[in-house]
Amino acid sequence: TARFIRKTSIDELPQLWNVFVGDMSLVGPRPILENEVGYFGDSLNEYLQVRPGITGLWQVSGRNETTFERRVYWDSWYVRNWSIWGDIVIMIKTLNVVATGHGAY
Instruction: For 55-88, write each residue's pLDDT tens digit.
Output: 999 888 876 778 888 888 898 999 999 999 999 9
pLDDT of 56:
92
Check: pTM over 0.85? Answer yes or no.
no
Distance CA 68, CA 16 (A): 25
Domain boundaries, the chain: 2-100
E strand spans, 1-105: 25-27, 53-55
What is the average pLDDT score of the chain?
85
Q: Rg of the chain over CA atoms, in angstroms?
A: 13
